[in-house]
Amino acid sequence: MIDKEWTSPNHGDRKGRDISMVVLHYTGMKTAEEALERLCDPQAEVSAHYLIEENGRLHQLVREERRAWHAGVAQWGGETDINSVSIGIELVNPGHEFGYRDFPDDQVDALIDLLEAIKDRYQIPRARIVGHSDVAPGRKEDPGEKFPWNALAAEKLAIGPWSGQMPLTLPNEEQALGQLATIGYGVETFGAEACILAFQRRFCPRRMGQGLDQETRAAIAEACEKTGACSA
Ligand SMILES: [Zn+2]
């Protein structure tokens, strides 16, 4: 039980930028307390606006109008100052390093409530509610392949995973890379290989590590089409 009120000193000015994105993370630490300590430690120089415990308890660490420090070197759809334009949400989970596990329903339900409020407040398109690994391919793996994007998609809060359907015409490799960039991935900055893996982790985890195989290209084509339909 965490009964202390946590606030983080680690934030700055949004430099006049509007909020237009949400980035989801996992904490990647053994306990919620450890993660809260770090996110509120001035020496660590990291933070997020919100943290959600596995039981669904929500902590606000930084006010939304301030720029929290969660994304690091990152890019999405040509935007490179992700921290200035986004809200960062940390989900407690030990992550790949300390025993990656499923996100409990209570935690996901609390996230959905929070995202609905944020999406309404800033008119954020669902194509711009993404994972840390999407904006920092090759560098970050969170929130990871166990994250239930389906649950968010069902509430129109994100683009969901691949349906499993093959399109009538498959994009070739070059076209698929172009579509990855259209979805938002920083292919030129982070390289094709890292972006393909980040895409698979998010949209078709069973294809992870398979490169641009047919299924992955089908998934990219589908996500690209949905991005076009969900960007406004
Ligand atoms: Zn992260």
DSSP state of 145: T
Q: What is 11-154's CATH superfamily?
A: Peptidoglycan recognition protein-like (3.40.80.10)
pLDDT for residue 229: 75
8-30, pLDDT tens digit by residue?
A: 999 999 999 999 999 999 999 99
pLDDT over threshold 70, residue 133? yes
Per-residue pLDDT, 231:
63
For residue 206, how many other CB atoms are within 10 A of its CB?
Answer: 12
How far does residue 170's CA lie from ligand 1's centre (Å)? 32
90 assigned to active site: yes
Find the 140 Cα to ligand 1 centroid distance in Å.
Answer: 7
With bands split at pLDDT 50, 70 and 90, how would you rate the model's confidence at 232? low
* Single-letter code of the amino acid located at 106: D
What is the structure's pLDDT at 122? 98
Write down the pLDDT at residue 159.
Answer: 96
Q: How many residues does the chain have?
A: 232
Are the C-beta atoms of 145 and 208 separated by less than 8 Å? yes
Smallest CA-to-CA distance from 58 within 92, 19, 102 is with: 92
Domain parsing of the chain, residue ranges: 11-154, 173-229
Does 5 or 195 have the greater pLDDT score?
A: 195
Q: Which of 37, 64, 79, 90 is catalytic?
A: 90
In 10 A of CB 221, how many CB atoms? Answer: 21
Which residues lie below 8 Å from residue 99, measured CB to CB, with a gap of 6+? none
Tokens of 30: 């053994």
